[in-house]
A and B are shown apart, each in its own frame.
Chain A
Amino acid sequence: MFGTGAWRLGRLMDPYAELSRLRNEMNRLFSLSTPTFVQAYPAVNIWVGDQEILITAELPGVDPEKIDISVLGDNLTLGGVREAESLQEDETYHRKERNGSRFSRTLQLPFRIDAAGIEARYEKGILKIAAPRAPEDKPKKIAIKAA
């Protein structure tokens, strides 16, 4: 006479409230699962100017003495070691999220750089490499002659 199942409860059960709860739950699930993919370490940003290029990388806690930068043509390689904490015998980790390892990365730059003029600075855990363009690769201004 009143049908079957939960619908018989009528006013007691609001299907829309249930639906919106489900939607919120799904939104929460999807927002958590940002795509994870293997990234080259360290992540770099490259700033380009007319005369030089600036490469910045976030490398917290690295001994600047242990960062190697080498250049070959338009390839720039940066490598180094991020040393892990060495714990004593009776010390234990509660949480270990930082990684300590060797890294090496080669970048191909959009133009050749002058290896002699490269300047690298490391401050606040950020490595900044400023490299001037090779003289033969600098943009040339072309004058237009009036006829």
Chain B
Amino acid sequence: MEKAHVDLQKQQAPTPVETERTRNRKVYVPKVDIYETREAMVLIADMPGVDEQSVDITLEKNILTITGNVEAPIYDGKTLAYAEYDTGDYQRAFTISDEVDRERITAMVKNGVLRLTLPKAEKAKVKKIAIKADK
């Protein structure tokens, strides 16, 4: 009774106000590996249930956002008898440096793993400086 009463009232927003998603689905943070090579930054994200159509990557200013939409699985004539994991969308954002060559970013999805290659801009590439021995 008391619970029903509470639900009818206006809900106070948490501060600071969070932006909400329009899809009423759970959102998970994919696990990622990020490594740097001489030529590029490579980002690998585990997103099971996602394919190349349902993943979305945006780069705005220096915020790289990865979004993956996963539809809830439904199997006709079967009921979920035991569950250890739940499905939902994926979302994660990173700030990246300006030294990425935006034109050549490539992304690939295979077996539920997203692989993003962010090539370094020419000016940011490491130049090896030889140290001369003092004779």
User: Which chain A residue lies CB-closest to B80?
Assistant: A47
Q: Across the interface, do A95 and B33 meet the contact criterion of CB distance under 8 Å? A: yes
User: Which chain A residue lies CB-closest to B75?
Assistant: A47
Q: Known: A60-B111, A124-B48. Contact between A90 and B82, CB under 8 A?
A: no
Segment from B17-25, B35-43, B57-65, B99-107 that makes contact with A: B35-43
Question: Which residue of the partner chain, among B34, B47, B49, B84, contacts A95 with CB atoms under 8 Å?
Answer: B34
User: Which chain A residue lies CB-closest to B38?
Assistant: A90
Q: Across the interface, do A60 and B112 meet the contact criterion of CB distance under 8 Å? A: yes
Chain B nearest CB, measured from A94 CB (Å): 4
A120 contacts B by Cβ under 8 Å: no
| Among A61, A64, A88, residue most surrounded by chain B Cβ atoms (within 10 Å) | A61
Q: Known: A85-B35, A94-B34. Contact between A48 and B48, CB under 8 A?
A: no
On chain A, the number of residues with a Cβ less than 8 Å from chain B's Cβ atoms is: 38
Q: Across the interface, do A47 and B48 meet the contact criterion of CB distance under 8 Å? A: no
Binary B-proximity of A71-91 (CB < 8 A = 1, otherwise 0): 000000000000001011011
A135 to B129, CA, bound (A): 73
Q: Across the interface, do B82 and A45 meet the contact criterion of CB distance under 8 Å? A: yes
Interface residues of A (CB under 8 A from B): 24, 39-40, 43-50, 52, 54, 56, 58-64, 85, 87-88, 90-98, 110, 122, 124-126
Interface residues of B (CB under 8 A from A): 15, 31-38, 41, 44, 46-51, 73, 75, 77-85, 110-113
18 residue pairs of the A-B complex, CB under 8 angstroms, read: A45-B85, A46-B83, A47-B75, A47-B79, A54-B75, A59-B112, A60-B48, A61-B112, A90-B38, A93-B33, A93-B34, A94-B35, A95-B33, A97-B31, A98-B31, A122-B111, A124-B112, A125-B113
